[in-house]
């Protein structure tokens, strides 16, 4: 009986730690509470109109626009756990990425793999490269830089999105809404 109580207590503790990591209040660089950026809603709750809307993001360069559109489609494939679609979008990004684009190796790794875990790992480097690519190129709209502190055994992982609502590409439906908006990139 005591053993069952210990296991139950440990389970409650672990659950509390996961909830704190995914949904705890933090502050941004300005010292403001980021609680409003957390998308930790019950799965049955209807998302608000703001959460459902995709920002129409425009860039000063057509190649940057194409890379970002395929990056968002790749992120969606990872959210859905669709390794084949992720592979296809990795190949598309590699195919039209400008010479000198730092993300070509990561895109190639995603485009040559059918393993969702390997694709998610390469997606970290691709995200860093895409963020550098778009950073000064946004002419209209907002790109949301999002973060999951639980990804990769607690090391965390970033991704970019055209919507404020969290859809975690590192865990998919296992922890779909685990994460927060860290930064808004745009004009």
Check residue 124 and give its pLDDT.
97
Check residue 31 and give its pLDDT.
35
Check residue 3 and give its pLDDT.
53
Check residue 10 and give its pLDDT.
43
| Residues 55 and 139: beta-carbon distance below 8 Å | no
- Over residues 13-68, the pLDDT tens digits come to 443 444 445 554 333 333 333 333 333 333 333 343 444 445 589 999 999 999 99
Check residue 117 and give its pLDDT.
96
Tell me phi and psi for residue 178, to 5 degrees. -80, 115
Calpha distance 89→86 (Å, rounded): 5
Q: Mean pLDDT lowest for which of 42-46, 87-91, 139-143, 182-186?
A: 42-46
- Over residues 73-127, the pLDDT tens digits come to 999 999 999 999 999 999 999 998 776 789 999 999 999 999 999 999 999 999 9
| Residues 34 and 181: beta-carbon distance below 8 Å | yes
Check residue 65 and give its pLDDT.
93
Check residue 53 and give its pLDDT.
46
Interior angle at CA 20, CA 155 and CA 118, nearest 5: 30
């Amino acid at each position: 009986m005591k053993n069952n109580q210990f296991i139950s207590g440990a389970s409650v503790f672990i659950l509390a730690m996961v909830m704190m990591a995914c949904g705890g209040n933090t502050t941004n660089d300005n010292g403001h509470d980021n609680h409003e950026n957390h998308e930790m809603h019950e799965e049955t709750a209807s998302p608000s109109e703001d959460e459902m809307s995709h920002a129409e993001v425009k860039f000063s360069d057509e190649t940057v626009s194409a890379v970002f559109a395929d990056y968002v489609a790749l992120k969606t494939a990872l959210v859905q756990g669709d390794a084949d679609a992720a592979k296809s979008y990795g190949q598309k990004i590699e195919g039209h990425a400008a010479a000198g684009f730092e993300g070509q190796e990561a895109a190639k790794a995603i485009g040559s793999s059918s393993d969702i875990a390997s694709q998610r790992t390469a997606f970290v480097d691709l995200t860093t490269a895409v963020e550098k690519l778009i950073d000064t190129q946004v002419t209209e709209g907002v790109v949301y830089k999002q973060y999951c502190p639980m990804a990769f055994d607690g090391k965390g992982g970033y991704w970019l999105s055209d919507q404020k609502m969290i859809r975690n590409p590192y865990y998919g439906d296992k922890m779909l809404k685990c994460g927060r908006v860290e930064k808004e990139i745009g004009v």
